[in-house]
Amino acid sequence: MTLPWDHSMDGLENAKAAALALLNTWPYRQDMVLVACGFDHDHYYFVASPAPLSSPA
């Protein structure tokens, strides 16, 4: 997903915005959330997972 660069955000925030925009194009997106991210000096990586139905007790 490519979005225009938002200069009010840093690199991670811009990458996360793009990841969320991509996630919003997926089927069943209402059940998915970003749960982790990483960086390897060239790219940011995000992990999406089904949203938990409830918090553990």
Residue 8 has pLDDT above 60, yes or no: yes
DSSP string, 18-52: HHHHHHTTSTTGGGEEEEEEEE-SS-EEEEEEEPP
Span 10-57, pLDDT tens digits:
999 999 999 999 998 888 777 888 889 999 989 999 999 887 766 555
Query: Which pTM was predicted?
Result: 0.77
- Residue 32 is predicted with a pLDDT of 86
CB-based contacts of 20, cutoff 8 Å, min separation 6: 34
Specify the pLDDT at position 53. Answer: 62
- Compare 4 and 56 and report the one with higher pLDDT: 4
19 contacts 29 by C-beta, under 8 angstroms:
no
